[in-house]
Amino acid sequence: MKDRSFVHYAALLACLLWSTLSFASDSATETTVAARGEQAEQNLDHQIQNLKKEVLKLNRELFILEEELLFPSSTQVTVFVSLDVGKFFTLDSVQLKIDDKVVTNYLYTEQETNALRRGGIQRLYSGNLKTGPHELVAFFVGVGPMGRDYRRAATLTFDKALSPKFIELKIADDIVTQQPEFSITEW
């Protein structure tokens, strides 16, 4: 009987050992599969990052090409807006007319107005004009001194040559009169 018990225990031990080795083998296989999966995931992430970089580069090149095709330098007119100090005027919107045609309306957010106050310059309009004389009229709407609604206009007559034309709509504080001053200058 002792021999049978011993054989029985030996067989049980062998089964237990076999299942442990089998489990260890399965765990090693799972670990290898998991490692391969992580490596494949890292390779895929790397490929995606490279594709994103290529798409950004292509997008930049297409934007430049589009600008050159849509706005050739011989007909290009660009209008910018700047705000100097801005204590006497809070900008709400700008309407821009060129040759009695409204070319843009822009409504400003508080963040955009704050950015202009900190020295930012916004490109308000970019378009094409034939060579020759043109009239630009800008309407500024906002809140002036003592919280009053304000609507003012500034006008510029200019000649468009074959080179690009850059124009700045400038809002500045006049300390002497304590009023905003609106001007248009050519660069």
Q: Is the overall model pTM greater than 0.75, yes or no?
A: no
* Same domain (yes/no): 61, 91: no
Q: Which of 177, 181, 173, 176 is nearest to 86 (CA)?
A: 173
| Total domains present in the chain | 2
Average pLDDT for runs of 10 along the chain of length 187: 54 55 55 76 90 91 81 84 84 95 96 91 93 95 87 94 92 86 90
* Same domain (yes/no): 57, 96: no
* Same domain (yes/no): 90, 174: yes
Residue 13 pLDDT = 54
Evaluate whether 121 touches 81 at the Cβ level (below 8 Å): yes
Evaluate whether 155 touches 96 at the Cβ level (below 8 Å): no
Long-range Cβ contacts of 162-166 (<8 Å, 24+ apart): 162/74, 162/131, 163/73, 163/74, 164/73, 164/76, 164/77, 164/78, 165/76, 165/77, 165/78, 165/129, 166/78, 166/80
CATH of the domain at 94: 2.60.40
* Same domain (yes/no): 129, 53: no
* Same domain (yes/no): 52, 116: no
* Same domain (yes/no): 104, 164: yes
Residue 150 pLDDT = 87
Structural domain boundaries enclosing 112:
76-186
* Same domain (yes/no): 64, 80: no
* Same domain (yes/no): 48, 135: no
Final residue of a domain: which of 27, 52, 70?
70
Evaluate whether 127 touches 71 at the Cβ level (below 8 Å): yes
Final residue of a domain: which of 55, 70, 85?
70
Final residue of a domain: which of 53, 70, 87?
70
* Same domain (yes/no): 17, 61: yes
* Same domain (yes/no): 165, 87: yes
- Residue 158 CA, chain-centre distance (Å), reads 32
* Same domain (yes/no): 101, 181: yes
| Helices marked H in the chain | 2-70, 110-117
* Same domain (yes/no): 16, 66: yes
Q: What's the half-sphere exposure (Cβ side, CA atoms, 13 Å) at 180?
A: 30
